[in-house]
Amino acid sequence: MKSPPPSLESRFLRACARRDVDAVPVWFMRQAGRYLPGYRALRTRHSILDIAKTPELACEATLEPIRKFALDAAIIFADILLPLEAMGLRLSFVPAPRIERPIRRPSDLKRLASRPAGESLAFVGEAIRLARRELDGKVPLIGFAGAPFTLASYMIEGGPSRDFLLTKAFLRENPGAWTNLMERIVRVTLSYLRMQAASGAQAIQIFDSWAGALSPEDYRAGVLPATKRLFSGLKGLGVPLIYFGSGASGFLEDFASAGAGVIGIDWRIDIGEAFRRLPGKAVQGNLDPALLLAPRPVLKKAALRILRQASGRRGFIFNLGHGILPQTPPDNVRALAEWVHQYGRQGSGGGG
């Protein structure tokens, strides 16, 4: 794809590339979700899997927040767990995700399919094409996938987990099979994301939502090698790569060494400190999503604090530290996006 002239390029993509912007770009993880009335109405008629697998519905869910709020990027409606189906596992949402017959011992790996996921997940590509057409260049569209560790944790635990005991035991007791599992996830994810980029995704975010469950040593030994291979395989796509992790600030430098140009952080670290520890990277984050439920002055103060710490830095993208909570009042989302643009004007100098 030819790149547009700089004047037409979005502030989100410019910030990903650490270029000057006229105002701080903002989008929110899980911006298409249950806090929105249109999405909730859609969910009374369709399951989450139906929405994800019906390109017109996925496109509609993607666009609702863009129509309502001054956001600088859209994210395609899908779920990080969809590729598990392509790998041969049965997935349902009840409403929490549940994986039938999870991977519990090395011999279970034999049950995994090794066909490329790009084809069986073609509906995501179609949703991306539709959403690109509807967005008509207004804001860029982000594609995404789960990171190898976070996906492996669902494959092994069979659903959400607090302690990840089975995943940690698998990693420590079966290092060979663990590496094999990570490599299979990388292969499937690469084919899935190549398909998303070919369909029109203009940036890619990798969600390592549960990486923070690991010690720095387990992350470095068991997760970083495969994650590096994932990012090096994505480099050639020529789109910005964002790596989001929750609870990863204890090993932030290792996390950033995986290879993404943009690092997504949660609220457990000051954004000023994240910038200092991540020279050369763009940084995305990091308001505690719970603050969107707070009284307006409290929300505003917290947002301004982040903007102040990041001011003068190239490559800042305002986001939450994790996904929007379902109880969030939409009017607070509107106000927050407007404050970021109003108070987050950056001079063209931009240090860092």
Q: Give CA–CA dist 258/266, Å, rounded.
A: 17
Please say which residue, 249 or 311, places its beta carbon nearer to ligand 1CP: 249
Q: What number of other Cβ atoms are within 10 A of residue 147's Cβ?
A: 29
Q: Up-side HSE of residue 335: CA atoms within 13 Å toward CB?
A: 19
Please say which residue, 311 or 317, places its beta carbon nearer to ligand 1CP: 317
One of 4, 37, 88, 95 touching ligand 1CP (CB under 6 A): 95
Please, which residues bridge with residue 284 across strands? 264, 317
Smallest distance from the beta carbon of 265 to ligand 1CP, in angstroms? Answer: 13
Q: Is 43 in the site for ligand 1CP (CB under 6 A)?
A: yes
Q: Which residues are catalytic?
A: 30, 34, 43, 79, 154
Q: Is 209 in the site for ligand 1CP (CB under 6 A)?
A: yes
Is the preceding peptide bond at 295 cis, omega within 30 degrees of 0? no
Please say which residue, 93 or 343, places its beta carbon nearer to ligand 1CP: 93
**DSSP assignment letter at 221:** I
Q: Give CA–CA dist 290/324, Å, rounded.
A: 8
Element (H, E) at 287: strand 282-287
Q: Is 144 in the site for ligand 1CP (CB under 6 A)?
A: yes
Please say which residue, 76 or 314, places its beta carbon nearer to ligand 1CP: 76
- For ligand 1CP, what does the binding mask look like between residues 240 and 279, x meaning CB under 6 A? ----------------------------------------
Q: Which amino acid is at 277?
A: R
CA angle 351, 261, 127 (to 5 degrees): 125
Q: Is 99 in the site for ligand 1CP (CB under 6 A)?
A: no
Smallest distance from the beta carbon of 344 to ligand 1CP, in angstroms? Answer: 21
One of 13, 63, 73, 81 touching ligand 1CP (CB under 6 A): 81
Among the listed ranges 15-23, 93-101, 228-236, 291-299, the one in contact with ligand 1CP (CB under 6 A) is 93-101
Q: What is the 3-state secondary structure (H, E, C) of 132-191?
A: HHHHCCCCCEEEEEECHHHHHHHHHHCCCCCCCHHHHHHHHHCHHHHHHHHHHHHHHHHH
Positions that interact with ligand 1CP (CB under 6 A): 29-34, 43, 48, 75, 77-81, 93, 95-97, 144, 160, 207, 209, 322-323
